[in-house]
């Protein structure tokens, strides 16, 4: 079996949020990046690259410190995203995720199905101390693995952020995207 170490030097992990509610025009759709993270991709048999491997028998695990999440972009909104907004958003994020008690977000695969060209990774995502199943869709091409999943915050016991007496709300569905060079 071949193991490929994963981290920011190999690619990006992004979280993308949307907004809902009557006041949604005031808020921003956010792109949040994990600036520090680690993981391992284990390939079956004697495979040493994704191109040589079959999806079946592969596994992946990833660890992201909550304090390594950083706001990279805020699209939309009445005003541009300020540094003060970024600081406030990160503070709210760490509070909502219970970073003091649960400092890491983890994903551990339980099965991989498909072909290197297109596959699904099933696993367990732990956020804020709660573990739930999650399926990622991905594809390998030109030495990269690109994929995504949708995380419904309430499924992990997270109440989506709201402001202005509920007029501005973070959408329950959050997109997680990754682009890795292997």
Which domains are assigned to the chain?
Answer: 2-181 (2.40.128.110)
State pLDDT tens for residues 1-50.
589 999 999 999 999 998 876 556 667 789 999 999 999 999 887 655 55
Residue 168 binned pLDDT confidence (cut-offs 50, 70, 90): low
Per-residue HEC secondary structure of 106-173 comes to: EEEEEEEEEECCEEEEEEEEEECCEEEEEEEEEEEECCEEEEEEEEEHHHHCCCCCEEHHHCEEECCE
> Exposed, middle or buried by CB within 10 Å (0-12, 13-18, 19+), for 131?
middle
Residue 93 binned pLDDT confidence (cut-offs 50, 70, 90): very high
Residue 161 binned pLDDT confidence (cut-offs 50, 70, 90): confident
Question: Which range, of 51-55, 110-114, 143-147, averages the lowest pLDDT?
Answer: 51-55
State pLDDT tens for residues 132-157.
999 999 998 888 999 999 999 999 99
pTM for the model = 0.89
What's the chain's Rg over C-alpha atoms?
17
Mean of the pLDDT values across residues 50-54?
Answer: 55
């Amino acid at each position: 079996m071949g193991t490929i170490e994963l981290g920011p030097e190999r690619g990006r992990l992004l979280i993308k949020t949307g907004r809902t509610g009557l006041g949604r025009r005031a808020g921003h759709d956010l792109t949040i990046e994990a600036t520090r993270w680690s993981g391992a991709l284990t390939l079956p048999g004697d495979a040493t690259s994704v191109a040589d491997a079959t999806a079946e028998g592969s596994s992946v695990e990833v660890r992201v410190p909550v304090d390594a999440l950083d706001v990279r972009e805020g699209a939309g909104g009445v005003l541009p995203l300020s540094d003060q907004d970024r600081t406030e958003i990160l503070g709210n994020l760490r509070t909502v995720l219970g970073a003091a008690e649960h400092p890491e977000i983890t994903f551990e695969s339980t099965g991989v199905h498909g072909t290197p060209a297109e596959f699904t990774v099933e696993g367990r995502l732990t956020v804020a101390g709660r573990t739930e199943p999650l399926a990622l869709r991905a594809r390998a091409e030109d030495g990269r693995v690109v994929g995504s999943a949708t995380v419904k915050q309430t499924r992990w016991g997270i109440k989506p952020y709201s402001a202005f007496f509920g007029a501005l709300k973070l959408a329950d569905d959050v997109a997680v995207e990754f682009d890795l060079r292997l």
